[in-house]
Homo-oligomer: A and B are copies of this chain.
Amino acid sequence: MQTHAHDMTRRRLGEGLASLALAVAAGGIAPLPAAAQSSTPEAGQQPTGHDMSVTPPHWIGKEQIAFLIYPDFTALDMIGPHYMLTNLMGAKTHIVAKTKDPVKSDTGLVFVPSASFEDCPADLDILCVPGGTLGTLTAIRDEATIRFLKDRGSRAKFVTSVCTGSLVLAAAGLLDGYKATSHWLTKALLSKFGAIPTEGRVVRDRNRITGGGVTAGLDFGLGLVGELRDRNYAEGVQLLAEYDPQPPFNAGSPEKAPPEVKSMMDAMFVEFLKTAEATVLAARTAKP
């Protein structure tokens, strides 16, 4: 991760820094100065142009990050960590689908992928799989999708998921023998797929990191930013995201939700869970 900060900045800054990316590239917002160190503008520069050579070199990386998307995936599963991880200066993020055709999420959002399975870099630093419901099971039944995950997952520095994305990882055999989590509804199922269901909103075991349902992706993504840079850097990203959550209700986990609310959710997913189990098991026993 030690790079020539100055060169990296000129070349790559526009690819990181989330909402700042294009703003910084366009010269309208000053790039990240060093923490607790005043910037020293070079003579002749724009007044907004900090001398980025004061940025700690380890703040600038070159990660290759890929998010898998597929029809009827849950967009927030992906966008939460995507926001956090695209704030990694120097990182390059890919939205990867089977083809480059537009992909519709389960809430009707239509995304244009940036890469197909063929275009996706062979060696990834982070591979992340978002979840969903029936769409996720359809993805699991797709041989090309499983083949892609087995390949990239065999070499990725971090193999990760949010929500029921862990079912897809499990279907590809990528959680065998690993502690993991999933959406609370599907977490117990993991034990049938070679994984070890484990307490925690974000569960890490060696290079596997799995998040709980939907919004857990924010906590997963921010934690990974802290690991890949440092605490100050992640705190800056958290402040930029104004991630100081104040949910108006207190029902965000099966333990906290009123029993009748949990029962309602359980009732809705009875058939889904049966289908999910059968689908993942079938994928795991299919010929490679």
Contact A110 B112 (CB under 8 A): yes
The answer to whether B47 and A271 have CB atoms under 8 Å apart is yes
Residues 204-231 (chain A) with a chain B CB within 8 angstroms: 212-216, 218-219, 222-223, 226, 231
A152 contacts the other chain (CB 8 A): no
Q: Are B35 and A261 in contact (CB under 8 A)?
A: yes
Chain B neighbourhood of A177, CB < 8 A: none
- Take A19-B214, A76-B83, A83-B214 as given contacts and tell me if A257 and B235 are in contact as well, using a CB distance cutoff of 8 Å: yes
* Alpha-carbon distance A234/B95, docked complex (angstroms): 31
Q: Interface size on A (CB < 8 Å)?
A: 98
A91 to B47, CA, bound (A): 48
Q: Copy number of this protein in the oligomer?
A: 2
Determine the distance from Cα of A29 to Cα of B185 in the docked complex, in whole angstroms: 13
A16 shortest CB reach to chain B, Å: 9
A83 and B254 CA atoms in complex are apart in Å by 19
**Contact call B238/A214, Cβ cutoff below 8 A:** no
Query: In the bound complex, what is the Cα–Cα distance between A213 and B236 (angstroms)?
Result: 13
**A3 interface residue (CB < 8 Å to B):** no
A83–B107 touching, CB < 8 Å: yes
Assess whether A223 is in contact with B245, with CB atoms less than 8 Å apart. Answer: no
Mark interface residues in A230-269 (1 if CB within 8 Å of B CB, else 0).
0110111011111111111101111011101111110111
Nearest opposing residue in chain B for A236, CB measure: B261
| Given A107-B93, A114-B110, also A264-B76 (CB < 8 A) | no
Q: Say yes or no: is A40 at the interface (Cβ < 8 Å to chain B).
A: no
Binds B, one of A116-124, A130-138, A140-148: A130-138
- Listed stretches A20-28, A168-176, A191-199; interface member: A20-28
> 8 Å CB contacts to B: which residues of A57-71?
none
Q: A19-B133, A110-B111, A213-B240 are in contact. List 10 more A-B contacts (CB 8 A).
A: A19-B74, A19-B131, A22-B134, A28-B271, A33-B264, A35-B260, A202-B248, A232-B261, A239-B252, A244-B256
Q: List 7 A-B contacts (CB under 8 A).
A: A18-B106, A28-B271, A218-B247, A235-B257, A236-B251, A239-B257, A242-B252
Shortest 10 CB-CB distances between A and B: which pairs? Answer: A213-B242, A244-B252, A235-B251, A245-B245, A23-B133, A110-B112, A223-B248, A86-B107, A23-B134, A243-B252
